[in-house]
Structure formats: C-alpha cells, structure tokens
Amino acid sequence: MADDRDLERRLERMYGSARPRADFEDELWHRIQARRPWPRKLADLLRPAQRLAPVLAALLVLVIGGGWLAAHVHLGGSPSTLSSTGSSAGGGTSSAGPGFGVLPAPPGAAKSISPAPATAGANAQPAEQAVAPPYSFVGKLPQLPATLPVYRYREPTAAARTAAAGKLASESGLRVDVQAGRPATSQEPQFVVRGVEAQLSLPTLEETAEAFVTAHRLTPGYLFQVTVAQAGQSVVYARQFQVNGASVPVARPAGQVAGLSVEVDGNLVVGAHGPLELPLDVAEYPVRPAAEALGQAGAAAAQLPATGSGLLLDKAQVVYVVVVGAAQGYYEPALLLTGSGGTVLVPLISANWLSH
C-alpha cells in the first residue's frame, strides 16, 4: 500500500509539471493568429459587418428612395390645380439638369413675340418687339412650379409596329393596324381598329363604349378620364399624367383631348383608335411662369372688357402636348388658352431649352 501511495504522488508531480501555465492558451492563440495569412485576417475583421449587411442595405434603400421621393414627388395641390413649389422664376437656367437636352418646340404653338401691354399685377414681363397677335387673354393664370417633367418615348420601328399590331389583334380579337407618329398633327404612334360593327344596346354612349372596350381588352393602362366629344359621336379615354398631385391632360394643338377614342353611331360601335402605350423616360425641365410665357407668346394678359378687339380667351390650362421627332417623341408641358373664338397653345419649357 505504501508503494502505491508513493507511486501516486510521483505521478501527480509528473502530470502537474506537464500542465500548461494559466496564460498558455491565450499566448498560443495569439501565435496562431500572427502566422495566419492577411486575407484571412481581413475576412475575420469583416465577418461582423457581413451579419449587418442586410440591415445596412435596407437603410441604404430607404435613404436613396426617400431622396428620390423628395426630389420628384411634391405633396399638396388638387386634381384641378398645379401648386407652386420653390421659386416661381423657372426660366433661364439649367440648374434642374434636363436629361434630354434641347427639345423641339410643340407644333402649332404660338411663337410670335411682342411687347406685353399694360398688365394687372406684378407678373407682367417685358418681351421683345414683334407683331402683336390678334388675341387677348382675360382669365386667371395658374401658378406653376419651377420645373415640370417631360416624358420621352422611342419611336417604334416598322417591325416593332407590326409586332405590336399582332399582339393587339391577338388580345382583342379585332383587326388592328399600328401607325407611326405624325409630327404635323402632333400624334404619337397610334393603333387603329378596322372593320368594327359591334351592336350594343345600352342607354348611353359611355356605357356602349365601356362595354366594347372591356369585351375586347382595350382598356388603357395609363391614367385617363372618360369624356364625350362635342360632336357626340365618340367617347374618349383622355390620357392624363399625374404631376405634383394634379391630373394634367394630354391635348392636341387645337385643344382636343387625346387618348383612346371609340366611335359610336347610335348603338353601333364603328371604330376605335388610340395611342400605342410605349415605355416612357422622364426628366425635369425648368419652366417659365405662366405670365412670362404668355407675354413672350404675344398675348395680352390684361383685364380687358369682353368687347375688346381680336380673339378673346378666358381660360388657361396646363396640358401635355405630343412633339414627334425622327426617332423619338416627347410629351411636353404647355399652356392651353381657350375661349369662345378658338384656342392658342403656349410652350412652357424655358426658352433656352427649346429649339427655334
């Protein structure tokens, strides 16, 4: 028994001397780390950041998205008015950074420049000498923001128009042609339904047109307002753009609303045509105040009596007008002046961003 206890004591002394000292493990770990290649060291340092990457990405998306919304979406306004945001002096500078360069002027727009007569209010602007036009404006001008968006589309090739016609024909079950844009009449590429004679016994023109459009899957994908043309023979799904909280219609130079038009004769749908829906790019452009645009177009922004000489216009509305180029077209903002005697279209884009 004594020998066993002696052996046990010797074994304890031997193993006790073989145990590492208290700080040996930490020292060994630091030596191992010091011998590791630097790429692995860098990966170890970045590992905590990798765990936070989804959170950082979400924050980055929120920051970028919030900045874009702040730059492009202006809260306020109403469906019938455009509210002013920032400075009202929208002309003469390129600080807005237009993305499409110099734009072609709208066809049919008033281009004469004359000295503005005495005007009521502080918005009167002097203009260059030219021949005075035979019209005067006596209504209320809208307030405009410093910039307005311009929309651009690519003019489809002949092959693309053929493909679009085939797709529309397949979806609608009708015979459809697609036409190229027409610069002279300020029309974007259009689809035209041929040989239609759909009899629909419904009480109103709107209901007749809606039944036809729904049955043939022709309902526009853009924002629209249904109107009946003055002649009472067509129902128009008038195209609109949502700008600064307001619905801004697309109009032709003569003032007619533009969009899908369904021709109705009694209870018979006899035809339909409308804009081909194309992808749109958008860029902000500086605009002139309405009074300045009016003065540079030669209109008299004066409170004249109804017996004043020349064409008398009493309503002003911001619209978009189609400007067709060789390979692309634009929806540009303009001021449409109307009255009992006719219409006048005034460009709103700052003059140094319009071709002459």
Residue 6: predicted pLDDT: 76
Spatial separation of the C-alpha atoms in residues 60 and 248, rounded to whole Å = 33
Whether residue 214 contacts residue 203, with contact meaning beta carbons closer than 8 Å, is answered with: no
Q: Using DSSP bridges, classify how beta strands 311-313 and 135-137 pair: parallel, antiparallel or unpaired.
A: parallel
Q: Which residue has the tokens 């036809």?
A: 212
pTM reported for the whole predicted model: 0.65
What are the extents of the domains in the chain? 23-73, 157-275
* Count of other CB atoms within 10 angstroms of residue 269: 25
Q: What are the per-10-residue average pLDDT scores of the chain (356 residues)?
A: 70 62 67 69 62 59 44 34 35 54 80 34 34 70 93 95 94 93 92 81 84 92 90 89 94 91 86 94 94 74 52 89 92 91 87 85
- Cα dist from 250 to 62, 186, 237, 256, whole Å: 33, 11, 11, 9
Phi, psi (rounded to 5 degrees) for 104: -70, 145
Apex CA 195: angle with CA 190 and CA 196, to 5°? 90
Say which amino acid occupies 59: L
- Fold type of domain 157-275: TATA-Binding Protein (3.30.310)
- In 3-state terms, what secondary structure has residue 186? coil
Residue 297: predicted pLDDT: 67
Spatial separation of the C-alpha atoms in residues 257 and 238, rounded to whole Å = 6
Residue 84: predicted pLDDT: 35
* Count of other CB atoms within 10 angstroms of residue 154: 14
Whether residue 84 contacts residue 74, with contact meaning beta carbons closer than 8 Å, is answered with: no
